[in-house]
Structure formats: structure tokens, C-alpha cells
Amino acid sequence: MGDFNECIEIASTKDKIFGKYCLAHIGVNVSAINRDLSYFQSTTFLQKLLSRISAEFAIDDGLSSCSLCYSLALCLPNNCSDADGTQVTNYMIDTFGVGVESMMCQTKQDVDPPLDRDAIIGISILTILLLLVILSTTTDLYFLHTQRGNIPSIFVSFSLYTNGKKVFEMPQRRSNLSCLDGIKVLSMFWIVLLHTHNTYLAGPLFNSDDVLDCVGHSWYVNVDMQLFLLSPLIFWLLTNYPKTGIFVIVTGIFSSIGLSFYRAYTMELQAMISEVKMEPKPEYMHKYYLRTETRASPWLMGTILGYILTRKQLTLISLSKKISLPAWVLSFSLMMVCIFGGHSTLRGPEYRRLENSFYIALIRPSFCIAISWIIWACATNHGGYINTFLSLPFFQFMNKFSYSIYLIHVQAIFPIVYSQKTAIYFSDFNIIYWYWGLFMFSFGLSIIWLLVFEYPAVALERIIFS
């Protein structure tokens, strides 16, 4: 009922009438459809279809609250309010037993807003950084070409030439913990795939205003920083009172797991946030997923692993194949259970309180145990071909970009996916196609990030604290 671009571009300077594109989210009213089936032909087919939809998405007698609702576009004059759009749409579709649950409208001013104060400040900062990069690179190349001796480090901190050599050089190091490079890079691949998959279908149906509120995936930086501030105390305990330190860490692990279970049980949280039969409660994110106290257990388990790897007597343990092989099988089996477990039991029409609570409390610590075995085995020469694979130079090179890709990739996904004007056809091939395109785009941006932000910041930090 209205193309986005055509609607937005409507303008009449004489009457000051502009286009307003509204997207109505439609909910199904089962009672109304049952009552008005006489309006339709093929009643038997519709009854079967309705019962199938009701069972699949757990729609009750009121308007549906499922996350998979219909959407209808409407082009209105900009003088009409959202309430007017809702009233017009309800008038047209009321006969069909459906109603508008929400209405999202945009005008040309919303699509192309004028620069505000924050935008001007941001552009100014980026301009200053760009000038520093140009000046530093020019100075670096001038001294290099004229061979006038060593240039002070502060003048080449932003040099693309000096920083570029550091970025693109292949690492020569290889240590007992080189497997961490592969684990971090593979984790980064997985995270980008997850966010690509989760945002792929939102496209034109997403409220783009919400994107501007915050950098959602930075919750990890927040949690990690709080735990980092706690690390000096833990380090002091492990150095001076090892047994007390281990006891405190283990207590923290079980406390975090217990608190996760308690909140999941009392708040009836869903373990599968992709569930379509029930809307995920906001408490899942605010009281569990984003909270340091409920996400601390894997970090604390990693602290114990790090302590073990610093004890020489614990790294010299030699395991026979009769022990190490079953341990590898158990580790990979545990990972598979964490990845695929629960999908057949926790996504049914009925909410399973106890199962969901156990899943939420144990899923991440269990996965951490599996990863911990891989790290320990590779660090103590029990990794074999797996350690060789995870320590490949490719992973060592890509590890330079893993953190910057993590920070950037969501901001790369949003303008591409959420600027879609039409629905996107879903298929596994299209997901792979979008994923690799978005990943390589994020990789390109991460190179700029390293050259302009990360490496200059590291260089300045060394100068200041040297």
C-alpha cells in the first residue's frame, strides 16, 4: 500500500504536505476470525490453518503477542498522527479479525535529520584525527626519505606507514598458548555469524530509532571491565594466600551459578531467547544476560585455569592416550550439548520452569569447562593436531583484528540490514552470502580502526608511561 521511497519523497511546497510512511504491526484475533469465517470461502481449510497457527505461535483469544506478526505499510500525509494511521488501518482490516498492535511512522525529516550538536562534535573529532594521521604520516615519510636520523616516537604515533607495517606483518611468535589465537578468531567468526543471523530478517521491520540508543554488544566490555577491576585483589590472594584465593574464586563461581538459577526460576526466564511462542521477557537481558554477577562464572573459571598454567608442577603432568582421548571426546560432546541441547525440549508450547532455570544457570559454565580442557591440553603438549590447527599463523594474524571486528561489526550490520526497503528472501545460502559480505566489510573497517585508533593509542600509552 505504499513504496517507501515514493512516499517519503512526496512534497508540496504550496500546501506544505509531505509524505509519511507508516508501518503497522498486525496482530491476529482468533475469536474474531472464528466468528467471521462465514466471510471466507474454503472454510475447512481456514479452520485447519487457524488451528495450525494457534498451536505453532501460542496465540490466545486476544490479539497475538508473538514476535512473528504481520506488517502492513501505509502512506499518509505528514499532518496525520500515528493514531490516525492506526484508526485508518483498523477500519480496513477489522473484518478479517486482525488489529494494529503498533504503528511506526517516518517522514523525510526522520530519514535525513539535520546535524545536531553530538554529530558536529563527532565529525570534528574525526577530522582532527584525520589531520593527525596525515601530518604524522607525512613527517614519517619525510624523515625516512631524507635519512635525517631517528624521529621522536611521538611524531610517528599516527603514521600509517609505521603502524601499517605493524598491522600487516606476520607474527613469528609461537608459545604454549598459541591455541588462544585460534580460539579467539573462531569465536569472533561465530559472533559475527550470530548477529548476522539474528538481524537478517528484521530488515525493513526494525525500528531504526532504537539503534541510536546505545551500542548493545558493548555489554561485554562493561562486564569484562568490572571483573578486570576486581582482578588485582584476586591476584594478590593467589600470590600470597593461594588456598584462600582458590576458595574465594570457587565460592564466586557457585554463587554466580546459584544467582543465575534463582533469577531464572523466580522471574520465569526463557532460556531460548529466539523463542517465537512467547515474547522474551526484558528481565532476561536486564537481570541475567547483561549483569556482571550472573556472567562472572566463566571469567572466574578462566582465572583458575590461568593460575593452574602458571604452576609448573601442574603443566608437567603427562597423560596417556587412554585418558586424554576420552577427555577430548567428553570436551567436544559437552560443547555439542551446549550448542544443540534444549532446542527440542525448551521450545514447546508449555513453559518448563525448572529446565529453563537449569539451562540458563549451567550452559555457559559447562561450555567454559570444555574450552578450558582444550586450552590446558594444548598448553601441556596434549593438543596434537588440534593445537597445530589453532596455532596456525593465519589465526595469529587474524587475532590482531578480532577485538576491533567485535566492536565494529554490529555498527557495520545495522546500516546495511536496517536500511532495507523490501522484505528479504530467507535461505541458508543467502545467510552465508550476507555473512561473508558483512564479515569482510567489518574486516576492512577494523584495519582502519587499528591504524587510526588502536595502534596510535598503544604508542602514546608507551610514550606516556615509559
Query: pLDDT tens digit string along 369-399?
Result: 999 999 999 988 888 899 999 999 999 999 9
Q: Which residue did the predictor score with more confidence, 349 or 419? A: 419
Where does a domain end: 74, 94, 111? 111
Q: Per the domain annotation, does 452 fall within a domain? A: no
Q: Per the domain annotation, does 448 fall within a domain? A: no
Question: Do 213 and 287 share a domain, yes or no?
Answer: yes
Q: Where are the alpha helices (DSSP H) in 19-106?
A: 30-35, 43-57, 82-93
Highest mean pLDDT: which of 42-46, 63-67, 311-315, 424-428? 424-428
Q: What is the tens place of the pLDDT at every residue in 116-157?
A: 888 899 999 999 999 999 999 998 888 888 877 677 788 888
Its domain, for residue 127, covers: 117-167
Q: What is the tens place of the pLDDT at every residue in 155-168?
A: 888 999 999 998 88
| Confidence check: pLDDT of 429 > 50 | yes
| Confidence check: pLDDT of 57 > 50 | no
Q: What is the tens place of the pLDDT at every residue in 72-82?
A: 888 888 888 88
Q: Per the domain annotation, does 129 fall within a domain? A: yes
Q: Which of 171, 169, 133 is nearest to 457 (CA)?
A: 133
Question: Do 283 and 408 share a domain, yes or no?
Answer: yes
Question: Do 131 and 68 share a domain, yes or no?
Answer: no
Q: What is the pLDDT of residue 211?
A: 59
Q: What is the pLDDT of residue 434?
A: 87
The span from the CA of 289 to the CA of 294, in Å, is 7
- According to DSSP, the β-strands at 17-28 and 98-107 are antiparallel
Q: Which residue did the predictor score with more confidence, 4 or 262? A: 262
Q: What is the pLDDT of residue 235?
A: 93
Highest mean pLDDT: which of 247-251, 264-268, 341-345? 247-251
Question: Do 410 and 282 share a domain, yes or no?
Answer: yes
Is the full-model pTM beyond 0.85? no
Question: Do 95 and 24 share a domain, yes or no?
Answer: yes
Q: Per the domain annotation, does 466 fall within a domain? A: no
Take residue 288 and report the three cell numbers written for it. Answer: 541475567
Provide the pLDDT confidence category of residue 174 given band limits of 50, 70 and 90. Answer: low
Question: Do 24 and 73 share a domain, yes or no?
Answer: yes
The span from the CA of 453 to the CA of 185, in Å, is 21
Mean pLDDT value across residues 197-203: 72
Q: Per the domain annotation, does 446 fall within a domain? A: no
- Give the chain's count of helices (H) and strands (E): 19, 4
Question: Do 349 and 397 share a domain, yes or no?
Answer: yes
Domain count, the chain: 3
Q: Which of 80, 91, 94 is nearest to 22 (CA)?
A: 80
Question: Do 29 and 152 share a domain, yes or no?
Answer: no
Q: What is the pLDDT of residue 236?
A: 94
Q: Which of 123, 195, 194, 111 is nearest to 419 (CA)?
A: 111
Question: Do 314 and 419 share a domain, yes or no?
Answer: yes
Q: Per the domain annotation, does 451 fall within a domain? A: no
Where does a domain end: 64, 81, 111? 111
Cell numbers 567485535 correspond to what residue? 406
Mean pLDDT value across residues 421-433: 81
Q: Per the domain annotation, does 454 fall within a domain? A: no
Task: Work out the percent of the chain whose per-residue pLDDT is above 90.
Answer: 39
Mean pLDDT value across residues 233-242: 93
Q: Per the domain annotation, does 441 fall within a domain? A: no
Question: Do 256 and 388 share a domain, yes or no?
Answer: yes
Mean pLDDT value across residues 89-105: 74
Where does a domain end: 167, 188, 204? 167
| Confidence check: pLDDT of 447 > 90 | yes
Take residue 88 and report the three cell numbers written for it. Answer: 485508518
Question: Do 414 and 272 share a domain, yes or no?
Answer: yes
Q: What is the tens place of the pLDDT at every residue in 287-327?
A: 898 899 999 999 999 999 999 988 876 667 788 888 889 99
Question: Do 402 and 287 share a domain, yes or no?
Answer: yes
